[in-house]
Structure 1
Amino acid sequence: MVDLGKLEGRKRWQESTNRSTRSAIAARTLLRVLPLANGFSEWRRKNFEGLDYFVRAALLVTLASREIVSADDLQSAAEAALAAEPSFRHDMIERGFFSKSAVHAILSAYRDASSGDAIGSSSNAASTIVDDPDAGHAVISAAAADAVTIEAGAADDTLLTSPLWPQEAPDWWQVGWSRCQAALEVDPAYAFWLRWYQAVLDGAPQNWEMLREIALIAPEDWDAGPERVAERIAEIEARYLSDATRLAERVDVNPETGLLRVTPIEVEDTPLVSALLGHVETILDGALAVPANGLREASFVPRLIRTTITRHANDPQRVEMSMVTAAKSLRREIRETEELPKSEENLALLDAVEETARGVRSAHPEVAAARERLARQALNELPEGDKAKLEVWRPILVDTSGGQMRDDYTADISALIADRDLPPMGDAPPLLAVDDAAARIFSRAAASWELLRIADEALEGISVRTGMKKHEILGTLMGVISLGLSIYGVL
């Protein structure tokens, strides 16, 4: 039994526990009281900028517990947070939002987060702010539950990716968190921090390297205020999503239309790609000629192959993705659902599309690298609320793009928001593989944002042509980027 209720018991526990475990539990304890320090809408509306330093300190404490940042990094953040103390005291005491003792309690929790009695300080902060000793007891109990989990053999890393509250969060905490959300949701500069904290609450996997870059954003940017920090975070997020989904293609602005477009890389070995596609078409014709094979010209795979040959033969990335999609569909229908017989012609078609995908990758290293990146990504299920967001964003993505990129956004978003097992109805176009559709959406959104944020003339041109405001275009792209980071499990 772990007794953390009294200082003597906490000291004994600290002496018998390794530094990594102490840091992990200290970080989680501080994170539990974080919304209480940041959860009052009147405070946020009074423009108290010290909030940024305290949120950053909480992130750094978490990273330090995994030894991702150094003690020096943590110390500098603590000094920055404490340097904001006069402003903190003025806003919170003089304006009557907190009592003097509550402010001291919050500051003590931050001071002790990496050393000292972090659990006791956080407990005191909760009891003082909520004005209920049971709040402090709940913080102690949650920390004790973490300690028991470690004693039972769990790794520190496992603890940091477990739900923040071992059981349902107390009512007083839920009130504080609701106030915190209401205060910060109205300010786009805090969108990342809300997503990050929700991931902490849920125990979702974290991209620690990306979080490290965010925590170590230059001090002058932190000093410039939340809007500047949000800009730097957006740049980091876009780069990480681009790195995770980057395809062998380029996004630029069409000088003739002034809209965004996608340009495929050049075919490196035209005779090889032509021969591979010709072979696939020959095998397909043979399979379609035998009714017993179960394939029809209007079926998904034949239509996908025909479209690829007639419209995308000069796009190595699209050829490879289409052949992978065809192979997945054939393997499922032949080997799993047995909708198609294991006939010689069907198996030959499966071999042909697989050989074509491999051949394109062998001739185009960029395509091979893209496939390797995509293979490492695990696509999380898209919640209904996020599907609704994509529906809202779709016309903006479509209207700011032209040509193939415009068509792809229309089809790919349909694929992503639809039931992945839903077959196409009537003359509707076939739904594309969800994984590849997602890669195109998020890779292109990230590339577009990175392009337009520094190409103001191009952004202005798109704004004039579409009638959309520049901040609406960039905001939509950033929304898509944030969604991509979420469903790929980056954050």
Structure 2
Amino acid sequence: MVEIADIDSLGRLEAWLNGQSHEVAVCIAPRAAAWVLPIWWHAVLSEDWARGREWTALTVLRCTLISYVAAKMPNEDIKRVASNAAATARTSASLASGAATHAAAAHAAFSAAFAASTAFSDEPVNTAFNAFAASINSASTAAAGSNNHSYSVSDPSTPAFAIWQSFRADASQMKDEEILVFMPLWQQGVGPFDGLWEKINGFVEGGDSPHDWQFWIEWYQALLDGRPMLGNAARTWEMLEKIALIKPEVWDQGPEAVNPMIHEIWDLVRLRIEAEELRAQKEAFLAERATPEQRSHNQPPGLVEAEPEIARHVTIIWAGLDEASEELAAKEPDKERLTQIAKGMLAALRAVAAYCGKLADRVIKAAASVIGAGVGTALLDHVANNGRLMQFAKDLLTWSVGGG
């Protein structure tokens, strides 16, 4: 049996993979593709052979994202879209193989993504091996011009060394039921292609449509960092699955068609997270300061009697937050309803802010004197000065009217 510490060649890697479970092999492939993804991405942004063909990074990005999702949730729907992504990649790969010799590194990176997208198959060991071999080939070829020992696994200055080192770190922490998406992509935290990644960011930021590629930039950065992209692992997987399941014909139309749809999904899931967190804040506030009756009716404690106009607006805001959260949780949220909720919340928030701003401390002090224990001060601060509530209502309106 090959020990992890002894894996320093493709032959030993293959022997080790043959002793692993299906799940482990499937988890190796997307990591291998992600290591060298910047090589292809940078090439299509900067090299004449790619720009002349109007290629983009989309095919490789799609394959890599789907390979991660397929490793986590290999259901039939995901397998179907993974098959389609692999078929599309196969066609593109045949075109890429005819490019100039200096494109070899980019082509190998493409091959790693293609192999990863087929890792759900009945032969995951072979596909994981192919993805890793292509990754090593891409990294080594990219470095060959400046380093005669680019294939070396003992020279710390080579990309190949970094890949082998990161693979062994992954393998030592791998469990059958886990995918290593939330571990830093590089074992040392710094990868050999960080310079390319900085250039990619610069190209995107200075391009014609940086907003359209923002998701992909943040998604890959989260892979590098080893963290859930949305901060919430469950919601991150929910989002990635939805993106993976976008219809193939939309992907086939290119970035102009699919990137806005991806951004809308991204915004929706972020709204769901924010609604959940704001509701939790509200419930914590009410649990500490309100009676059971007030909590059940979204009634602001004390202000019902002391400041009825403010109380009415606060009730509208809190009820709107509850309604928005429930509607956002639907499989297909009703955008017209969400538009009305957002408008109602914004109007109420602005009314409370204007009222408090006009009367300033006199209102807060009067409320506090009637309610006691500073509840009035805390309530008005919670609502009028809660920038997250206002921003949520604005973002909700933007998304619901189609401007996400």
* TM-score above 0.5, yes or no: yes
Q: Is the 8 A contact 1:241 1:443 kept in 2?
A: no
Q: Is the 8 A contact 2:300 2:311 kept in 1?
A: no
Q: Is it true that 1:7 corresponds to 2:5 in the alignment?
A: no
SS at 2:12's partner residue?
A: helix
Tell me by how many angstroms 1:61 deviates. 0.8
Give the aligned partner of residue 370 of structure 2.
none
Tell me by how many angstroms 1:12 deviates. 1.7
Give the aligned partner of residue 178 of structure 1.
198
Choose the corresponding residue for 1:213, options 235, 238, 242. Answer: 242
Mapping of residues 123-202 of structure 1, within 5 Å: 123-131=136-144, 132-133=150-151, 134-150=158-174, 156-157=178-179, 159-170=180-191, 172-185=192-205, 186=207, 187-188=209-210, 189-202=212-225
Q: Is it true that 1:51 corresponds to 2:57 in the alignment?
A: yes
- TM-score scaled to structure 1, two decimals? 0.55
SS at 1:176's partner residue?
A: helix
Alignment gaps of 5+ in structure 1 = 248-270, 283-304, 322-363, 375-400, 412-426, 454-473, 479-491
Farther-moved stretch of structure 1 (67-76 vs 201-210):
67-76
Tell me by how many angstroms 1:221 deviates. 1.6
SS at 1:36's partner residue?
A: helix
- Are the structure 2 counterparts of residues 228 and 409 from structure 1 closer, same or farther at C-alpha, using a change threshold of 3 Å? farther
Counterpart amino acid of 2:182?
T
Distance between the aligned counterparts of 1:100 and 1:193, measured in 2?
23
Give the aligned partner of residue 302 of structure 2.
280
Distance between the aligned counterparts of 1:11 and 1:216, measured in 2?
31
SS at 1:39's partner residue?
A: helix
Counterpart amino acid of 1:447?
L
Alignment gaps of 5+ in structure 2 = 145-149, 152-157, 277-292, 329-344, 356-376
Give the aligned partner of residue 22 of structure 1.
25
Give the aligned partner of residue 121 of structure 1.
134
Tell me by how many angstroms 1:447 deviates. 2.9
Mapping of residues 369-388 of structure 1, within 5 Å: none
Give the aligned partner of residue 226 of structure 1.
255
Per-residue CA shift, 1:405-458, capped at 9, x if unaligned?
5567999xxxxxxxxxxxxxxx9x96436996424422431333321x3xxxxx
Per-residue CA shift, 1:13-70, capped at 9, x if unaligned?
1121111122222211211111111124324765733421111000011111112553
Counterpart amino acid of 2:137?
N
Give the aligned partner of residue 316 of structure 1.
315
SS at 2:20's partner residue?
A: coil
Distance between the aligned counterparts of 1:57 and 1:162, measured in 2?
20
Distance between the aligned counterparts of 1:402 and 1:119, measured in 2?
52
Tell me by how many angstroms 1:276 deviates. 9.7
Farther-moved stretch of structure 1 (233-242 vs 201-210):
233-242
Q: Is the 8 A contact 2:182 2:223 kept in 1?
A: yes
Counterpart amino acid of 1:198?
Q
Distance between the aligned counterparts of 1:405 and 1:147, measured in 2?
52
Mapping of residues 65-464 of structure 1, within 5 Å: 65-69=71-75, 70-89=78-97, 93-94=99-100, 99=102, 101-113=104-116, 114=119, 115=124, 116=126, 117=129, 118-131=131-144, 132-133=150-151, 134-150=158-174, 156-157=178-179, 159-170=180-191, 172-185=192-205, 186=207, 187-188=209-210, 189-205=212-228, 206=233, 207-246=236-275, 280=302, 309-313=308-312, 316-318=315-317, 321=318, 403-404=347-348, 406=350, 431-432=381-382, 437-451=387-401, 453=402
Q: Is the 8 A contact 1:235 1:450 kept in 2?
A: no
Per-residue CA shift, 1:285-321, capped at 9, x if unaligned?
xxxxxxxxxxxxxxxxxxxx955x3334155343xx5
Q: Is the 8 A contact 1:37 1:106 kept in 2?
A: yes
Tell me by how many angstroms 1:142 deviates. 0.7
Tell me by how many angstroms 1:146 deviates. 0.4
Counterpart amino acid of 2:10?
L
Tell me by how many angstroms 1:177 deviates. 1.3
Distance between the aligned counterparts of 1:450 and 1:137, measured in 2?
49
Q: Is the 8 A contact 2:81 2:248 kept in 1?
A: no
Per-residue CA shift, 1:370-423, capped at 9, x if unaligned?
68999xxxxxxxxxxxxxxxxxxxxxxxxxx98545567999xxxxxxxxxxxx
Q: Is the 8 A contact 1:50 1:88 kept in 2?
A: no
Per-residue CA shift, 1:156-200, capped at 9, x if unaligned?
24x221111121323x31112112222223232211100111111
Q: Is the 8 A contact 1:242 1:447 kept in 2?
A: no
RMSD, matched Cα: 3.9
Q: Is the 8 A contact 2:17 2:25 kept in 1?
A: yes
Give the aligned partner of residue 361 of structure 2.
none
The count of residues paired between Structure 1 and Structure 2 equals 311
SS at 1:38's partner residue?
A: helix
SS at 2:238's partner residue?
A: helix
- TM-score scaled to structure 2, two decimals? 0.65
Tell me by how many angstroms 1:128 deviates. 0.7
- Are the structure 2 counterparts of residues 434 and 7 from structure 1 closer, same or farther at C-alpha, using a change threshold of 3 Å? farther
Q: Is the 8 A contact 2:62 2:244 kept in 1?
A: yes
Tell me by how many angstroms 1:231 deviates. 1.4
- Are the structure 2 counterparts of residues 244 and 168 from structure 1 closer, same or farther at C-alpha, using a change threshold of 3 Å? closer
Tell me by how many angstroms 1:240 deviates. 2.2
Tell me by how many angstroms 1:121 deviates. 1.9
